Structures are given as C-alpha cells and as structure tokens.
Structure 1
C-alpha cells in the first residue's frame, strides 16, 4: 500500500516519554543492550548467523547496536536542541540570513512557517566572499545531512568524517558547506514543512548571490532525508527557470514518503533484517515533518512519483541491503525516462542505510570511501 498522509499515532507517547520515565527506560535499555550485545557477539561468530553472510563480525554487531539505540530514541521520543552559536567552529561557522521574500514562492510560501536565519559549517575552511568566487574553478558542495528531519546539525562531531571524506574527492581547492537546516524535531523551535526546504533555498542563494559562486561550480548533495531537500532544491530552481547546479548527489535518499511514512510497509520489507531503520522511527519523523492532513505524495515529499527534466546531472548511491533500495531504483528509472536527463545509479552491495554518514559508526568506513570514489568518477565524466 502507499500512504497518503502520515500515521496519526506515530508520535511516541506513554510513560517512557515523561522525564522520570525516560530516565528509567534508558537505564533499563542500557542493561538490555549490554546483555544483547554480549549474546550477539557470540551469535555472530559464524558468518551464516549474521543478518548478511557478507558482513564482517564488526559490521553485524555495530548495525545491531545502531538499531537498538535508534529504538530507544524512538521509545522516549528524544528530540535534539539546535543552536546558532558557533561553539568551537570559529570562522568555519556562518549565519545565513533569509533571501528576499520573493525567493520563496509557490510551495515554499507558508502562512505560519517563514524563512529564518540558519547556520552552516564550512569544511575545511570558509569560502571568502569576493575572493573565491568566479576567479576559482574548484567545486563547492552544498550538502544537506540526513536524520529524518529530526536529528543532526552538519557539525564536525556528527558529520565531520563524511564531510572531510567528500571534500577529499572533489578535487583541488574543494570546499563544502553543510547546512544546519531547521528540524521538525527541534525542541527549541520545531519546524515542519516547508521550513527545511526554505532553508535549502536560503543556503543556495547564499552561495550564488552573496559569495557569487556560479551554479556550474556547485554540487548539491544530500543523504537520507537530506536527499529529499537536495532534489527538491533542483526541482524548485527548474520550476522558477533559474540556473541549476552542476550535479545533484543523492546518497540513500528518501524519495518516496508514501512508502517510508508507512511503518508496516517498512517493517515488512525484505531488507528489514539487514538495516537499522525501523518503521516506527521513520513514521514518527514524517508525522512531525508533514502532519496530517498534508499529503505525502506531492512532488517535494515524494519526488520519485514526479520526475522532471533537468540539466543537472543526478547521481544516486544506495546500499544494497537497505529498506529504501527499491524506491531508489524506481526513482532512477523514472528520472531516466525523462528525455535529456543524465541519471546514474551506484549500489554498495550488502550495505545498510546511509553508510556515507553512518559508516564510521556501523563499521562501513571502507564502504563510505567506495561511495565517494564513485562520486569522484561520476563528476569527472561531466
């Protein structure tokens, strides 16, 4: 089945979401996880008993652990606090102001959710206004991190491994800007649709209008839910008749919300046993991002259902063992069916969801390196 609106009861509730209840549940869960970890460490010694026979013992154990940790996060309904303070980032941290109101038209115009200031992190160092603009030919990556619109910020303690790895393959002088877009799960300022999409436009216009980076030097990218923002940004520019980026990199992208927002569909997928994503977590993320009665089958939430022509080359990278592999394949097939589109697909066999971002946590560091090597090869062909 395909879901048209988010599940009404997807938000975590009950005693475990209260302050004392959450603490009690975390303590109990730590005990359960430690016992389960010991049992799994023994169970997974024979490769035949691992979720995938191709996985190493380390990958099987860490993926099991990641799934349990996400389960606890969902149990207690934990949301992240976001801040615009630079912390230890210094000049690498930038505050980006919204563009003029006319930049947010059509689906990005909203009576309640308005464009706001956002933060972003430069890797490895800032791009200077008026210095690195048209004079340079190095690539600039504008990246939107994953996290189900609930977590993550693009800062080094969360995304440094992936950001540095991507930069290392983009060529001499390459830099990337990782956007701390507003989250639907932000405890300080929960921001549903279209807030994150407004922030995607804000950050892109910051590069083109303030830093004067020409679109042919910009590579837009996103992993998981960030992939929704990346392809949505390209769509929006196409609809407005504006120049689009050189390429769009979609890593384990969320491209069909009608599937991902349905907890039952996700949980009965054939790759469920080899992924760390559970249906209830995915459903919760979309419940707060696109609450009913908002439809999930629109062109920005489910781009796979609405292919469009674009001059931007699109590169999709997927894990062969993740639950959204099929929707990634469908996205590629449909966008390839549009005349003039350049779309490529690369699959890391036996890998779970988004090892580009989570590779260092789930034992897929080499897999993440293979992904960015594939990105580099794709970009050299353009």
Structure 2
C-alpha cells in the first residue's frame, strides 16, 4: 500500500471508530433518525458502517474482499476446481488463437477487440447440500439440476470463496432445498471470474462475460449438465452478468439457454438513467429517496469508481445504449431492445425470480426489469410474492416510466403508430417472472446473515419456487 494511502487508511479508521460511529450511535437512538423506522438500532448502525466501508473502498480502490487464488486453496466447506478455456471452447478452424473460436462472436467479439481481452485460466468453487455424498468428480445424473452462481461486487470487488458472505447464502439455499421434495439442485458452482481493474482495460467488460461463458460451457460440455437443468443465479453485478450471459446465449446460440434465472438485487441500469441527469436528479427516484437507507453509497464517487473500472476503454454512452451493459436503460433505442412487447428479453429463460428490497438504492431498476421481462408473455405482469409492495399498480408505470427522462427520439418512437404496431408483431411467450419485494430490505440482503428474519423467509420462498411448490400467502409479511 502506498504511503499516502496507508496514512489515509489510518486516518479513516481513527475517525470512523472514535468520531463517526459514536456520533451515529447516538443520533440513531430515536427510530425516526434511522434509515427505516422499522430497523433495530443494531441493524441501523451495521448498515451505516457498511456504507462507510464501501465509501472507503471507492476512495482508495482497496479491495476489501478475497482475491482470486493463484494456487489451490485449503477449503472446509467447498471443493475447488481450475477451468482451462481451451478444454471447453470449440477450436478455431484456421488459427491456434482461441479468441477466434466460433464460440466468440457478435457483441462479445466486438468488445474483446476494443479492450484487448484475452483468455485466462479461471477457477470456481463447488458447494453441496449438507451431509450429501456429492463431490466434484461425482458423475452428473440424467436430468440432474445445478445452480450456477455469479457473485456481486460492482465487477471490481467480491469473491466466490467460501469465506465470502455469498458462500453463506449458497450453503443455506442448498440446505433449504434439501428439505424439498422432487428434483431440485443438490450442488452449486460459484465462478471466480476476473475482476475489473482501473489500470488494465483488458480486465474490464467483457472479461467477466467471457469467463462466465467459459464457466457455463464447463458445466454443459465437461460436467454434462443440460442447459435447461441449469439455474443461473447472481447478485448485484453478478445479476448483471447473468443477464448479459443470457442475452449472449440468446443472440449467438453457442449453447442452450439455462432453464431458470435467479437474481438478487441485479445491477440492471449501469447508466443510472432512472435517476436522471447528475446536475438535476429526479427527486422521486429511489437513488435519491433511499440514499440514507442502503449500504451502497449514492455519491458520484461510487458510481464513477465502479463504472470506470467496468467500462475500460469504452465510452460512457455504452452504459445507456448497450443492453449487454444496461439491460433496462431508459435510453435504449428501439433497435437495441428498448421496444415492446419484449423489450429485448424475448427468448430469455422460462422462469425468472427477482429479489429486491424497498430500501435499496436501485429498487426502481428491479421493478423495471421485472415488468419488462413479464411484458410480451402470456401473463403480462410479474407474479408478486413477499411484501408485494407494488402489486396492483399500473404495469406501464414500471415498464415505460413516463415520468422518467429519455431521449426525444425514443419518446417519439414510443408514442408513434409503429410502437403500437410492434406490440402485435410478435407472439406472446410462455415465460414466468416472479418479483419478490421485501419491505425495508437493503441491497443483496439475503447475502447477510444478520438481516433476519427477512433473509430466511426469502430463501424459503426461493426454495419453494425452485421446487415448483406454491408459496403460501401466510408467509407474506404485510406489515
């Protein structure tokens, strides 16, 4: 660590420990001064402390999570595996360069060329249901299901290692699934994809997408899982990555589409078009309304630190106009997917489950995503579970969001006759979308063991959904 950064770190620790936290501890004694009046004092302080730590990471660019291993680690609750891309990619016909593999084309190949992204050996961790006799080498059974998990961390932090908070979610979900009857996943593969680096564009987008694709091919071509038996899951930026992987599989058809999609607080609008211009933000945006209730810092600093590392050499306009980066950007051109009835999500997995908390900075993105995924289906709207906060409200409010800013051209197209003609140009799809809204919950709250009982209640609903069991209405907390 550089001397100035080390000095700032010492200063940060002292100020946080002896000034900031004691002041917040006193300030939040009245419930009215907490991020949400329903929170306990300890929950409020924990969230404030986490937001403070994330702010420190953005200022110093110090990664607070475990880095990808260079050698096989010693593990207690999981099993480790290396993944060599050459073992699972189709060989190019006239070259030894695997970047020219027919598995890379379209948007992925374009972005790889701009960022000079190459292929690297990656790794992952296998998690198993408790007290099971499964191992990495256990042959895949016919029709066996598996969870493919992509961790979050704004693309430049986070880890799939068993010491990470994500591992606790993985293990608890597998433990809950073990109680379910029928065919449900008994093992989970968590990928350790390359993290973005502010100094090296070759690790920016689409490096993580390349690794996610290689990990997917490892499951289908090496392990032998059928695509329809894969449940693709991700939290935060991992949810963004899962959506990008589905889009690539849909667009280029290098492999079949996963059967299900599970998203925890997915980062769906990297551009933050929902919050409006930086100089004149929308007061009704959750980015403004929830700035004191989430673990994510709402400042431009957090936004720029994460987005700059992710974009590399790509211009900022990509966050507004590239559906691989911002699948629910309100500025998407019609030809780029921002058009009904499918809004760019035709051909996506048959089943999707989205988890969001009402105290999240990005909860509006999740509502837009859920409703756009449901548009163009036979149902038209998502199925609401959990606290069902937005149930009964007009779906157009979330699908198009008339009050939110967008380009003049996009608005003209939306209100034109061509727009309405497009609604009848495509057949409706058999695709189910479930929206799990949890009152006063924060970003990726199921990852945190201290966010109870909401965490366990949500995992229970997810397990029932995976097992095709009905979610009882009595489990829904309406107060």
For Structure 1 versus Structure 2, the TM-score category normalised by the shorter chain is: 0.7 to 0.9
The separation in 1 between residues aligned to 2:105 and 2:141, in whole angstroms, is: 28
The 3-state SS of whatever aligns with 2:289 is coil
Of 302, 305, 308, the match for 2:345: 308
Q: CA deviation at 1:132?
A: 3.2
| Per-residue Cα deviation, 1:293-332 (whole angstroms, up to 9, x for no partner) | 2511311111124332124311110111001000110111
Of 239, 256, 263, the match for 1:243: 256
Larger relative contact order, structure 1 or 2 (CA cutoff 8 Å, min sep 6): 1
The 3-state SS of whatever aligns with 1:269 is helix
Q: CA deviation at 1:37?
A: 1.5
Deviation larger for 115-124 or 145-154: 115-124
The separation in 1 between residues aligned to 2:287 and 2:231, in whole angstroms, is: 35
CA contact (8 A) 1:272 1:323 kept: yes
TM, length-normalised to structure 2 = 0.70
Q: Is 1:274 aligned with 2:296?
A: no
CA contact (8 A) 1:261 1:282 kept: no
Aligned to 1:12: none
The separation in 2 between residues aligned to 1:135 and 1:176, in whole angstroms, is: 17
The separation in 1 between residues aligned to 2:4 and 2:357, in whole angstroms, is: 36
CA contact (8 A) 1:149 1:183 kept: yes
Q: Is 1:299 aligned with 2:317?
A: no
Q: CA deviation at 1:187?
A: 8.0
Deviation larger for 256-265 or 212-221: 256-265
The 3-state SS of whatever aligns with 1:142 is strand
Q: CA deviation at 1:177?
A: 0.8
Aligned to 1:175: 187
Q: Is 1:105 aligned with 2:105?
A: yes
Q: CA deviation at 1:114?
A: 2.0
Of 58, 73, 79, the match for 1:92: 79
The separation in 2 between residues aligned to 1:156 and 1:186, in whole angstroms, is: 26
Q: Is 1:117 aligned with 2:124?
A: no
Deviation larger for 275-284 or 64-73: 275-284
The separation in 1 between residues aligned to 2:126 and 2:148, in whole angstroms, is: 10
| Per-residue Cα deviation, 1:80-113 (whole angstroms, up to 9, x for no partner) | 7433322113881111111232212212222210
The 3-state SS of whatever aligns with 1:120 is strand
TM, length-normalised to structure 1 = 0.87
Aligned to 2:309: 288
CA contact (8 A) 2:83 2:218 kept: yes
The 3-state SS of whatever aligns with 2:272 is helix
The separation in 1 between residues aligned to 2:274 and 2:195, in whole angstroms, is: 17
Aligned to 1:32: 15
- 1:356–1:85 distance in 2 versus 1, CA, 3 Å: farther
CA contact (8 A) 2:268 2:326 kept: yes
The separation in 2 between residues aligned to 1:186 and 1:83, in whole angstroms, is: 20
Aligned to 1:148: 154
Aligned to 1:13: none
CA contact (8 A) 2:124 2:190 kept: yes
The separation in 2 between residues aligned to 1:374 and 1:258, in whole angstroms, is: 31
The separation in 2 between residues aligned to 1:144 and 1:261, in whole angstroms, is: 25
Q: Is 1:157 aligned with 2:163?
A: yes
CA contact (8 A) 1:146 1:226 kept: yes
- 1:165–1:189 distance in 2 versus 1, CA, 3 Å: farther
Aligned to 2:476: none
The separation in 1 between residues aligned to 2:125 and 2:435, in whole angstroms, is: 28
The 3-state SS of whatever aligns with 1:119 is strand
Deviation larger for 345-354 or 236-245: 236-245
- 1:354–1:78 distance in 2 versus 1, CA, 3 Å: same
Where does the alignment leave 5 or more consecutive residues of structure 2 unmatched?
A: 91-100, 179-183, 330-336, 338-343, 377-427, 470-479
Aligned to 1:54: 38
The separation in 2 between residues aligned to 1:228 and 1:61, in whole angstroms, is: 29
| Per-residue Cα deviation, 1:321-376 (whole angstroms, up to 9, x for no partner) | 0010001101111111123132111011101111122x13xx31432222211211
The separation in 2 between residues aligned to 1:213 and 1:370, in whole angstroms, is: 29
Query: Looking at CA atoms only, which structure, 1 or 2, has the larger radius of gyration?
Result: 2
CA contact (8 A) 1:260 1:283 kept: no
The separation in 2 between residues aligned to 1:381 and 1:304, in whole angstroms, is: 28
The separation in 1 between residues aligned to 2:40 and 2:15, in whole angstroms, is: 23
Aligned residues: 360
Q: CA deviation at 1:267?
A: 9.3
- 1:168–1:185 distance in 2 versus 1, CA, 3 Å: farther
The 3-state SS of whatever aligns with 1:287 is helix
